[in-house]
């Protein structure tokens, strides 16, 4: 006769498998963090200026992104011996809201970078499923292929006049941000570089947010079960459990702040998860206190009574 398995073996094994799967999902999500996908890129030019674009920072609440441009002159625009600009250039940033100009002098070393802000469109309240775009699609149009002018480059002649310079997309980059998956379209047409940028939270951020949501919901469920068990007198009342309820209640704020790229206050995750978790914890704590007042026996302290005072008086 074969020996039977221990009765308590299955549940611990399932728990270990669950933790292993959760860990694997977190690791896989992290490996996908900050991935950059270039869906379309114009070929670099051999006579003109190639532009490399990197994403420096992102502020979802202000709906602004900071990009860095690096210019690489080619052909007659480059002094190869000195690795300098052979001509003077005027760089005009052409975003949807405003534009700015920057002049690059002849003889300036190649490799300098220039940063400026661009507007992005999205809804930060939908964290962690928020999505942001720099394109005409994010404003009003439904065309998913519309690009937006980002920068225009012109050659400055000796008499001060300007003529368009050919612009292409550099083969390097673009660079992304940790915690975000970014998709680019870089199209050079004449002197203007057109860009479409789409930003979404990476798998690591979504997985981490899902784990925290699961934990706070499980915490509220445990509190409700404990309160119900005490209220129905299925478990004895322990006054020290009140501190446990209080500790869980005050743990909600740090847990919300521990989320990667913590969402703004009032995001949907607050309304649909954290608000109801807090209500459940407060209700459970109230039920526990009321049950303690109703069912806890009156304490008997004989050392506080006089020798001639009867018991129970």
Tell me if 23 is assigned to some domain.
no
pLDDT at 29: 62
Helices and strands, counts by H and E, the chain: 6, 15
Q: Are residues 58 and 178 in the same domain?
A: yes
Q: Are residues 118 and 219 in the same domain?
A: no
Q: Are residues 37 and 168 in the same domain?
A: yes
For 81-126, how does the pLDDT look when each residue is reduced to its tens digit (9 = 90+)?
888 999 999 999 876 556 788 888 888 898 888 888 888 888 888 8
Q: Are residues 259 and 134 in the same domain?
A: no
Which tops the pLDDT comparison, 299 or 183?
Answer: 183
Q: Are residues 182 and 41 in the same domain?
A: yes
Would you call 88 helix, strand, or coil by DSSP?
strand
**What does the pLDDT average to over 53-70?**
90
Q: Are residues 90 and 118 in the same domain?
A: yes
Last residue of a domain, one of 201, 227, 243: 201
Q: Are residues 47 and 169 in the same domain?
A: yes
Confidence of residue 301 (pLDDT cuts 50, 70, 90): low
pLDDT at 71: 92
For 123-172, how does the pLDDT look when each residue is reduced to its tens digit (9 = 90+)?
888 888 889 998 754 444 444 456 788 889 999 998 889 999 999 998 87
CATH code at position 147: 2.60.40
Q: Are residues 237 and 135 in the same domain?
A: no
List of residues 6+ apart from 230 with CB closer than 8 A: 237, 241, 287, 288, 291, 292, 295
Q: Are residues 187 and 47 in the same domain?
A: yes
Q: Are residues 278 and 152 in the same domain?
A: no
Tell me if 11 is assigned to some domain.
no
pTM of the model: 0.74
Half-sphere exposure in the Cβ direction for 3 (13 Å, CA)? 3
Per-residue CA distances from 155 to 83, 89, 91, 161 (Å)? 18, 5, 9, 8
Tell me if 94 is assigned to some domain.
yes
- Tokens 């802000």 sit on residue: 117
Range of the domain at 123: 33-201
Count of domains in the chain?
Answer: 2
Q: Are residues 143 and 191 in the same domain?
A: yes
Cα–Cα distance between 77 and 46 in angstroms, integer? 10
Tell me if 6 is assigned to some domain.
no
For 249-291, how does the pLDDT look when each residue is reduced to its tens digit (9 = 90+)?
888 888 887 787 777 777 888 888 888 998 998 898 888 888 8
Q: Are residues 153 and 123 in the same domain?
A: yes
pLDDT at 6: 53
Tell me if 241 is assigned to some domain.
yes
């Amino acid at each position: 006769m074969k020996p039977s398995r221990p009765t308590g073996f299955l549940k611990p094994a399932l728990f270990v498998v669950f933790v292993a799967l959760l860990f694997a999902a977190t690791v896989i999500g992290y490996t996908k963090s900050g991935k950059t996908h270039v869906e379309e890129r114009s070929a670099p030019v051999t006579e003109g200026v190639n532009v490399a674009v990197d994403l420096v920072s992102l502020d979802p609440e202000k709906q602004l992104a900071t990009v860095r441009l690096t210019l690489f002159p080619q052909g007659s625009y480059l002094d190869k011996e000195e690795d300098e600009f052979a001509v003077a250039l005027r760089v005009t940033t052409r975003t949807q809201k405003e534009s700015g100009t920057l002049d690059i002098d002849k003889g300036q070393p190649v490799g300098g970078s220039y940063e400026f802000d661009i507007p992005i469109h999205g809804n930060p309240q939908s964290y962690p499923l928020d999505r942001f775009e720099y394109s005409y699609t994010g404003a009003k149009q439904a065309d998913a292929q519309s690009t937006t002018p980002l920068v225009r480059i012109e050659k400055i002649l000796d008499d001060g006049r300007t003529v368009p310079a050919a612009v292409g997309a550099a083969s390097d980059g673009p660079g992304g941000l940790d915690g975000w998956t970014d998709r680019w379209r870089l199209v050079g047409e004449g002197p203007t570089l057109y860009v479409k940028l789409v930003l979404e939270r990476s798998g690591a951020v979504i997985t981490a947010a899902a784990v925290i949501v699961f934990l706070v919901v499980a915490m509220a469920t445990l509190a409700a079960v404990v309160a119900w068990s005490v209220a129905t007198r299925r478990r004895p009342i322990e006054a020290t459990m009140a501190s446990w309820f209080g500790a869980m209640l005050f743990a909600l704020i740090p847990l919300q702040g521990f989320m990667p790229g913590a969402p703004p206050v009032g995001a949907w995750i607050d309304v649909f998860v954290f608000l109801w978790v807090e209500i459940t914890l407060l209700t459970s704590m109230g039920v526990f206190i009321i049950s303690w007042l109703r069912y806890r026996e009156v304490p008997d302290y004989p050392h506080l009574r006089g020798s001639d005072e009867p018991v129970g008086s």
